[in-house]
């Protein structure tokens, strides 16, 4: 008997789930229904719908062929290529005899330099084969968002103290939606490409860290200013050689340190963002660091590498404890209250819990135990659910946990209780999309007082707020 069979039934064919009110699973008509008939808790929440026409045009690799060539003189051409695509591309333009007809000597020199450069890069890839994957590929490979490169919403992040959400869209702009104001600020600058992660700084109203291909961009968006497009002077790009592409950024809960991870770098960087200095935390075994998660009290950091190794860092001494997952790398992990950690490995339908117990003698033991089996099953309605885990989220109070699966289009929400050192996971409900929508990424709101509010970005560009409301009296 799988845990999924004790979930409430899925909503009917024309219906969709809106919220859960004190154990009542509220569904309504997908087209005409409205969440406000059930609850006012999300009335002031920003309505987000990322449609295609919102996107700004961006010259990417796919559409660059659409532009018509303009005959420029050679020098101008080379400099513009150099400016846009780098030195090596400029060299290849100069070496290309079909483009460069004017000065054959330059073409010959350029072709020789290009040959030397190619040999050097080949040698470099021979030494460090993991760098061969170019930036977006690495990010797409390690991202917890389904189809990271194609879906309208790449990632989202709630502000820790107010009702404010940042959404990274497919055109690599970051939009900031606020509950009080109707306008949307769009954060955009030249360096911001292939956004992989977002994180708001705790104990601050305005600072947002954006992990992108070149490094970390820290935006300072003054909430009192009514700019729909803040200038890039509000952004600080933090980058370091070899630390690219950044696959994850996370602030310490104390708001003072920022950790950035790159799937291609064996060291993760601890930034002091104001002084723009970074201290690398380097451990070679396991390859690149994919993501890091701070525990609630900032005493521990979980980091997952691109191999089976993961680490728990102690932030007093900055030394790690090394763990090995069984079989595959860790795809998702989340901390809960009392320093309990849930994690899941890639391709495995199992959630593990890592608990630290203090013994009477003062020493601590940490052990990992299987907490939940989510093997793929078919529900009575024929919908498949379960299987390998794509992403997990735990709400800040530690009562609800949401899960995305690689092979299922449902979002499963579980109730979690942690009493007497025992973690208990019970079924809560499913969230389904309208028509053929697929959930891409999700996040719990950080300051929701009535319970928990799960925000899900669907493949259609719709962003749904799914409140789970409980009152203490109930």
Partner 1 sequence: MDVTCDIFSKRLIISVLWNIGLQAVIAVMLAYIYGCYYVKPLPKYFTRFSMFLSLFCTQNIIFSILYALSGYFTMSLYSSLAKSNFNTLKKICENYDGQCLLEQSLFLQMGGMWMGLYYFLNAHIFSPTTLTFPHIYQDKFQQIKLAIHSILSCGFKNSIIPVVYYCIFYYFWGHKPRNVVSDVYGLYLEDKPLDNILNLFGSGIWIGLWFYTSLFLISVYAMRTVFNIVLTEPMKFPIESSKKLTLHKAIAQKSQFNGYLGTQDLKIMSLTDTVRRKEIFTLSQPGGHPRNWNNLLQECLKIVNDFSKELDSINGDMKPVEIEMLPKRPGSSITPKSTLYTGNLRNMAYSPQLHELKEHNKNKSEDTLLSAIKEEFNILVQRIRQKPGISYLFGELTDTRLKFLLMQAQPVMWTCEGLAFIAAASLKEDKYGVVQTDLPIVISTLINLKQNLDKLTKPGLVPRKHILNDSFALKMKSALLSSVKLSIYKIVITFSKYIHEIPLDPDVQIAIQPFLICKEA
Residues that bind partner 1 (CB under 8 A): 159, 161-162, 164, 203-207, 220-225, 254-257, 270, 272-277, 279-282, 298-299, 315-319
H/E stretch holding 235: strand 235-238
- Shortest separation between residue 295's beta carbon and partner 1, angstroms: 13
- 41 and 469 in contact (C-beta within 8 Å)? yes
C-beta closer to partner 1: residue 75 or 274: 274
Strands (E), 300-421: 300-305, 309-314, 319-324, 330-335, 341-345, 350-358, 364-373, 377-378, 384-385, 389-394, 400-405, 411-419
Give CA separation, 339 vs 289, 312, 354, 357, 418, in Å: 21, 11, 9, 10, 11
Helix (H, G, I), strand (E, B) or coil at 346: coil
Comparing C-alpha atoms, which of 391, 416, 263 is closest to residue 334? 391
C-beta closer to partner 1: residue 115 or 161: 161
C-beta closer to partner 1: residue 26 or 270: 270
Hey, CA dihedral for 17, 19, 20, 22, is it positive or negative? negative
- Shortest separation between residue 378's beta carbon and partner 1, angstroms: 46
Question: What are the backbone angles phi and psi of residue 243, rounded to the nearest 5°?
Answer: -105, 70
The neighbouring-strand residues paired with 402 are 393, 413
Q: CA neighbours within 13 Å on the CB side: how many for 446?
A: 18
Residue 298 tokens read as 């900032």
C-beta closer to partner 1: residue 63 or 319: 319
- Shortest separation between residue 124's beta carbon and partner 1, angstroms: 16
C-beta closer to partner 1: residue 276 or 435: 276
Alpha-carbon span 276 to 217, nearest angstrom: 11
C-beta closer to partner 1: residue 105 or 241: 241
Residue written as token pair 């290309």: 96
Alpha-carbon span 272 to 260, nearest angstrom: 11
Helix (H, G, I), strand (E, B) or coil at 429: strand
Strands (E), 90-206: 153-158, 164-169, 174-178, 185-187, 197-200
Residue 108 C-alpha from the chain's centroid:
46
- Shortest separation between residue 453's beta carbon and partner 1, angstroms: 17
- Shortest separation between residue 159's beta carbon and partner 1, angstroms: 8
C-beta closer to partner 1: residue 178 or 425: 178
- Shortest separation between residue 463's beta carbon and partner 1, angstroms: 21
Residue 81 tokens read as 């290529």
Residue 257 C-alpha from the chain's centroid:
19
Alpha-carbon span 468 to 453, nearest angstrom: 6
C-beta closer to partner 1: residue 94 or 268: 268
Residue 28 tokens read as 């309504």
- Shortest separation between residue 203's beta carbon and partner 1, angstroms: 4
State the Rg of the chain over Cα: 24
Residue 363 tokens read as 């020493």
- Shortest separation between residue 60's beta carbon and partner 1, angstroms: 33
C-beta closer to partner 1: residue 81 or 258: 258
- Shortest separation between residue 337's beta carbon and partner 1, angstroms: 14
Residue written as token pair 């060539």: 69
- Shortest separation between residue 424's beta carbon and partner 1, angstroms: 26
C-beta closer to partner 1: residue 362 or 370: 362
- Shortest separation between residue 2's beta carbon and partner 1, angstroms: 41
C-beta closer to partner 1: residue 269 or 372: 269
């Amino acid at each position: 008997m799988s845990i999924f069979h004790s979930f409430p039934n899925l909503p009917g064919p024309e219906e969709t789930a809106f919220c859960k009110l004190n154990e009542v699973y509220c569904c309504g008509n997908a087209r005409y229904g409205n969440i406000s008939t059930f609850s006012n808790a999300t009335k002031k929440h920003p309505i987000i719908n990322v449609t295609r026409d919102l996107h700004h045009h961006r010259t990417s690799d796919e559409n660059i062929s659409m532009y018509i060539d303009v005959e420029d003189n050679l020098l101008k051409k080379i400099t513009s290529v150099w400016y846009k695509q780098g030195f090596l591309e400029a060299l290849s333009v100069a070496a290309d005899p079909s483009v460069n007809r004017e000065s054959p000597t330059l073409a010959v020199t350029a072709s020789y330099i290009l040959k030397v450069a190619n040999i050097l890069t080949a040698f470099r890839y021979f030494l460090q084969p993991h760098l061969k994957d170019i930036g977006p590929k690495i990010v797409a490979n390690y991202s917890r968002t389904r189809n990271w490169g194609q879906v309208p919403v790449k990632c989202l992040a709630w502000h820790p103290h107010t009702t404010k959400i940042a959404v990274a869209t497919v055109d690599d702009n970051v939009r900031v939606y606020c509950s009080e104001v109707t306008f949307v600020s769009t954060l955009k600058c030249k360096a911001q490409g292939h956004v992989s992660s977002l994180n708001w700084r705790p104990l601050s109203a305005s600072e947002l860290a954006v992990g992108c291909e070149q490094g970390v961009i820290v935006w300072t968006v003054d909430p009192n200013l009514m700019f729909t497009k803040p200038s890039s002077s509000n952004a600080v790009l933090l980058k370091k050689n070899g630390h690219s592409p950044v696959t994850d950024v996370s602030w310490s809960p104390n708001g003072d340190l920022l950790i950035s991870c790159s799937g291609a770098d064996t060291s993760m960087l601890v930034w002091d963002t104001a002084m723009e200095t970074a201290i690398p935390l380097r451990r070679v075994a396991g390859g690149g660091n994919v993501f890091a998660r701070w525990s609630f009290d900032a005493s521990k950091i979980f980091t997952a590498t691109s191999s089976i190794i993961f680490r728990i860092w102690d932030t007093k001494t900055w030394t790690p404890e090394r763990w090995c997952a069984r079989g595959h790398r860790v795809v998702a992990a989340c901390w809960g209250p009392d320093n309990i950690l849930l994690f899941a490995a890639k391709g495995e339908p199992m959630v593990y819990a890592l608990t630290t117990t203090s013994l009477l003698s003062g020493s601590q033991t940490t052990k990992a135990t299987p907490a939940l089996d989510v093997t793929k099953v078919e529900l009575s309605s024929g919908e498949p659910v379960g299987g390998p885990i794509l992403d997990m989220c735990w709400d800040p109070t530690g009562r609800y946990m949401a899960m995305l699966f690689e092979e299922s289009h449902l979002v499963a929400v579980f109730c979690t209780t942690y009493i007497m050192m025992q973690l208990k996971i019970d079924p809560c409900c499913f969230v389904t999309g309208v028509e053929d929508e697929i959930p891409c990424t999700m996040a719990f709101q950080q300051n929701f007082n009535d319970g928990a509010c799960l925000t899900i970005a669907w493949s259609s560009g719709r962003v749904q707020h799914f409140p789970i409301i409980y009152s203490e009296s109930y």
